[in-house]
Structure 1
Amino acid sequence: MTVRNNRSWIVYAGLLVLFWGVWGATSSQPVERYGYPDEMIYIIWAFTMLVPAAVALRRQRFDRRPVAAVYGLLAGLTGAGGQLVLFQALADGPAYLIFPIVSLSPVITVLMAVVLLRERIVPLAVVGVFTALVAILLLSIPSGDGGDVDTGSWLVLAVLICAAWGAQAFFMRKAALAGVNDATTFGWMTITGLALVPVAYLMMGGMPSAPWQAPAITAGTQVLNAVGALFLVMALSRGKASVVAPITNALAPVLTVVLSLAIYQTVPSVWSSIGIVLALAGSTLMVYTDEKRDEDVVAPGAADPVVR
């Protein structure tokens, strides 16, 4: 049994922004304090995914259909695989150029949702999506000067990560349209993340020497990341991918900037300040148009999300 989109996606998107915003403001601590390697952070993150996965699977049965496995694995591989590729990109190129490219992944999601899922966006919402995308780019611009950098393999890798993470949100939405429940999609994402742990270990070259505080802080921050990922699955199963992806990717960095200002007494750059305003404006437009819509018009041949 299926129904049209429901507006509960706003609640889950809000929780996603909260968890990822706090995670963004605290996730750098293991690296800054103890020089903890990114690959080890990935390994710990993969295991923290088991926590929300266990909670979700207690409420919903694991869907054993092949379609659930296909979309779940695709979402997991594009997400976790993109994370591993990011480590290599950062080793070859500058973060201040890589992250703005990667941050444009919602563009891929929007294009795939509009073209392949035939999601319709009213003109006012289009303005909101564009505003949010500009905000994401501005929030990714660093405050310092990076100097001249030669392009190389890192540029190709950054584009691949952008495409992978944009496709991940699409596959999450596609799974929901196929009737796959949230717990199953997230369960497959967890399995995929754990399956790539040996790859991360090999990239790291052995266990790092660090005090116990490093893995403890990493686990605490990455739980926020993992729970936020579950909320992303839940938001995309209830709302349009062309709206959920831009709004969450725009607002989470805003909360991170605000928390960083409060905790670390850091003043946002001019670009970040403009990005905050645009993110709030774009998100408000998208939520407003969703609230004003009496009902979704489903294109012929497109499926509706399942009843929760």
Structure 2
Amino acid sequence: MKAGYSKLWFTYAIITTVFWGIWGAFTGIPTENGFPSTLVYCVWAVTMVPPALIVLKMVNWKLECDKKSIFLGVAIGLLGAGGQMLLFHAVKIGPAYLIFPIISLSPVITIVLSFFFLKERTGKWGSLGIVFALIALPLFEYSQGSKTDISESAWFTMAVLVLTAWGLQAYVMKVSNESMKAESIFFYMMLSGLLIIPVALLMTDFQQDINWGADGMYLAAGIQVLNSVGALSLVYAFRYGKAIVVSPLTNAGAPLMTSIIAMIFLSVMPGSIKLGAIGLAVVAAVLLAVDSE
């Protein structure tokens, strides 16, 4: 690793954590105000365009267009965007309080693949941090509610597919950084997101009242910018850091930020289980930072 780059991964990971944490706390507000989640996806895809063009300009528009780069870039984009679209339908037909704990375990896929195929290793403190992060992840989305019969439920299969897609995305993102510029990766992520917009539009019920106003579409745009910038920062985090560490840190840290913001600004006090998850995430972040190379 180049001198001076050893801590860059952590800086970018923290940026992702903060931006996604704020995004997570407020992302549901436009939908509550009458702007469909499928259209929120479309808005998000569009907000990916400006940062993609800005970073591409920073490298003098040198987009890598060889077959391998295009394949890897589009694969990353489709895994992320496709997972999001599956999630829309999963939460429509199934219980969100069971779906999100499943999806939040996506770093397990990344860690396993990175361990066996990239031969990535971390020290004892980093390993302990990963364990704490993985324990914390499902606890953030745990909520007590009515029991649901999950036998023969399509939503469960969809949740597992989203988990797999996002875990694979993080792994492919790390692999791609070995041969591609982060700017090219993000450009193809943006392009793939735009390609799925027609699917989101087909899933939208335009017969319903849609809030196209300031607290609907425009609020969604402002919130989704945080999502897009966080995604860009994540690409750079994977460029300079180990996937086996970056993935658990960002996936535990973002819910941590969301919980803190909810407590302070939205007057929401999480239960004892989520408070325990916050504590685990704090410890995990510290251990991962201390053990970074």
Q: CA deviation at 1:207?
A: 7.2
Structure 1: distance between partners of 2:211 and 2:245: 42
Q: 1: CA distance between counterparts of 2:266 and 2:6?
A: 38
Looking at structure 1, the residues matched to 146 and 7 of structure 2 have their Cα atoms a distance apart, in angstroms, of 42
TM, length-normalised to structure 1: 0.90
Q: Does 1:91 align with 2:92?
A: yes
Q: Structure 1 segments of 4 or more deviating over 4 A?
A: 2-5
Q: How does 1:146-157 map to 2 (within 5 A)?
A: 146-151=146-151, 152-157=153-158
Look up the match of 1:221: 223
How many residue pairs are counted as aligned between the two chains?
287
Alignment CA distance shift 1:207-1:40 (3 Å): farther
The residue aligned with 1:47 is 46
Provide structure 1 residue ranges, at least 5 long, that are not aligned to the other structure.
294-308
Counterpart of 1:275, as a letter, is A
Deviations 1:217-275 (A, max 9, x none): 00000010011000110101110000000001101111111111111111011111101
1:149 is displaced (CA, Å) by 3.1
SS in 2 for 1:6: coil
Give the structure 1 partner of residue 10 of structure 2: 10
User: 1:303 maps to which residue?
Assistant: none
The residue aligned with 2:239 is 237
Identity %: 36
Aligned partners of 2:93 and 2:155 also within 8 Å: yes
Unmatched segments (≥5 aa) in structure 2: none
Q: Which digits, 9 at most, give the CA deviation of each residue in 1:156-206, with x for residues without a partner?
A: 11001000000111111011112x111100000000000000011111143
Establish whether residue 206 from structure 1 lines up as the match of residue 202 from structure 2.
Answer: no
Residues 22 and 258, structure 2, Cα contact 8 Å, conserved in 1: yes
5 Å-filtered alignment, 1:119-198, equals: 119-142=120-143, 144-151=144-151, 152-178=153-179, 180-198=180-198
Whether contact under 8 Å (2:33, 2:211) holds in the other structure is: no
Superposition RMSD on alpha carbons, in Å?
1.5
Alignment CA distance shift 1:207-1:230 (3 Å): farther
Contact 1:176 1:237 in 2 (8 A): yes
Q: Deviations over 1:72-125 (max 9, x none)?
A: 111101000000011111122110000000000011111111111111122221
> Aligned pair 1:103/2:104, yes or no?
yes
Deviation at 1:3, TM superposition (A): 4.7
Contact 1:12 1:231 in 2 (8 A): yes
Which of 273, 276, 300 aligns to 2:275? It is 273
1:112 maps to what in 2? Answer: 113
* C-alpha contact 1:96 1:146 (8 A) present in aligned 2: no
Distance 1:233 1:245 in 2: 11
Question: In 2, distance between residues paired with 1:39 and 1:133?
Answer: 29
